[in-house]
Structures are given as structure tokens and as C-alpha cells.
Amino acid sequence: KYKACLFDLDGVLVDTAIYHFQAWRTLGKQFDFELSHEQNEELKGISRVESLDKILHWAQFQATQEQKDIWLKEKNETYLELISHMNPSEILPGVLTFLKQLKDQGYLIALGSASKNAQIILEKTGLITWFQAIIDGNKVTKSKPDPEVFLKGVEALACSPADCIVFEDAQAGIDAAKAGGMKVVGIGSSAILFGADKIIPSFNDIQVSDLLLL
Ligand code: G16
Ligand code: MG
């Protein structure tokens, strides 16, 4: 029935949100701002540039483009240092079993992430070997909820949207998948994720055979 699965990265395959949180908190010290956990939730799935704009808005801080560019670079340097220590133990529960089932059953597998650092995270965790296509923040011009990142994944796998299922933890990502005409499985809580075809707490709660019911 379906030919391919497209995975978001942060919050689906690994939890890099903790590192983004730390890196933004470090940066925020420069303008006396402490990012809260609730605010960090709102940064999930959105680009680095959009994240800084939101943070500066919360901090009620006006910055020039020049200053913003410096801060974006600094935030990323902190983040790169944090993710340089990542390893396979950080792959989220059930992910490897699910990827193996998909491969054994002939599904194609692609990544659809907003992150410009997706490649290094996939390498550090060893996840990279599972993917036939990697579409990340370097390959797209429009952020989720625009469907571009997933449509490029579909294209790279030579599939059509109706052949594909997207796995997402962020509302912007669920909206992107729906806008692209794909089925979508939300990872997380049905109290905060809307519009998915199915919601699961983690990959321990799904089998490849369940996909046929979508
Ligand atoms: C991830 C995170 C976002 C982050 C974005 C850009 O997206 O969820 O919080 O802002 O990547 O990351 P970077 O600064 O590494 O380019 P996704 O789509 O993998 O969930
Ligand atoms: Mg995500």
C-alpha cells in the first residue's frame, strides 16, 4: 500500500531539543534572557533564523541584522560542540527496531528535517546507513509547515506523496505533511498534536504492519 517513510529528526529519531535548549540558553545570557522549557517546545521544527526571531520577541529585544547574524553563528557553534559528543545510545526507543522492520519489508526511508546539522547527527548516531535520501535545512528554502522538505524527499525517492508516510513530533511538521498530501504519524501526545492520521507515544508503540491501517 505504501512505499516509503519520511522521518523528521529532532524529537522523532533523537532528542536534540535538549541541545538546542542549552545552546539558546547560553546565547540568551548575552541579552539577559532565560528560555523556558515551554518556550523551547515552540521552537521545535522551526528554523534557526525563525527561532532567534521568536526568542528576541520574547526577550523584547531589538537587534540589527548584523547582530542577529553574529548570534546565529554563536548559537550554532555552541550547538555543534554539544552534538559533537552524540552517540548511538541517543537514538530514541524503538527507532532501530522499526527501521529494521521497514528495511526488511522493502520500504524506502528518507529524512525530512529543518536542521542544517542533520548530516552530522545522523553520522554521530550511526543512523545514516538507513537512509536512501536526506533532505535537510540546507536543501530547502521554505520552512515547515510548508511541505517543501517532504515533497523533496518524495521526489528523491521517486515516489508520489500518496505512497509516503511522514513521522513527526511537531505541529508544523504534521501540517507540512498534510499540505503535501502524505499520511502522517505524530510522535508524542494527542493533547498537543492535531491533524495526524495516528498518534503514538514512541516507536515502541507501533509495528510496520500497523501502517496498512492508515
Ligand atoms: C530541528 C529542531 C528545531 C531547530 C531546527 C533547525 O528541526 O526541531 O528546533 O530550530 O532543526 O536546526 P539547526 O539550527 O541545526 O539548523 P527538525 O525538523 O529535525 O525537528
Ligand atoms: Mg522534530
Interval 42-99: pLDDT, tens:
999 899 999 999 999 999 999 999 999 999 999 999 999 999 999 999 999 999 999 9
Mutating to test ligand 1, I would choose from 113, 123, 135, 150 the residue with most ligand atoms within 8 A of its C-beta, which is: 113
- Catalytic, 10? Answer yes
Residue 11 CA from chain centroid, whole number: 6
Q: What is the chain's mean pLDDT, rounded?
A: 97
Cβ count within 10 A of residue 167: 25
**Residue 25 has what pLDDT?**
98
Q: What is the mean pLDDT of residues 100-125?
A: 98
The helix/strand/coil state of 6 is strand
What does the pLDDT average to over 147-155? 98
Which of 167, 147, 137 lies closest to 12, judged by CA? 167
What pLDDT, on the 0 to 100 scale, is given for residue 58?
98
Q: Which-ligand-closest: CA of 171?
A: 2
**pLDDT given for residue 138 in this prediction:** 97
Phi and psi (nearest 5°) for 7? -110, 135
* Strand arrangement, sheet containing 133-135: 133-135, 108-112, 4-7, 164-168, 183-187, 198-200
Give the distance (Å) from ligand 2 centre to CA of residue 138. Answer: 16
pLDDT band with cut points at 50, 70 and 90 for residue 35 = very high
Q: Which residue bears the cell 504519524?
A: 185
Predicted TM-score (pTM) above 0.90: yes
Average pLDDT over residues 199-212: 97
What pLDDT is stored for residue 195 in this prediction?
A: 98
Question: What average pLDDT does the segment 34-43 reach?
Answer: 94
Predicted local distance difference test score (pLDDT) of residue 15: 95
Residue in the block written with cell 529528526: 9
Element (H, E) at 22: helix 17-28
Average of pLDDT values for 199-205?
A: 98
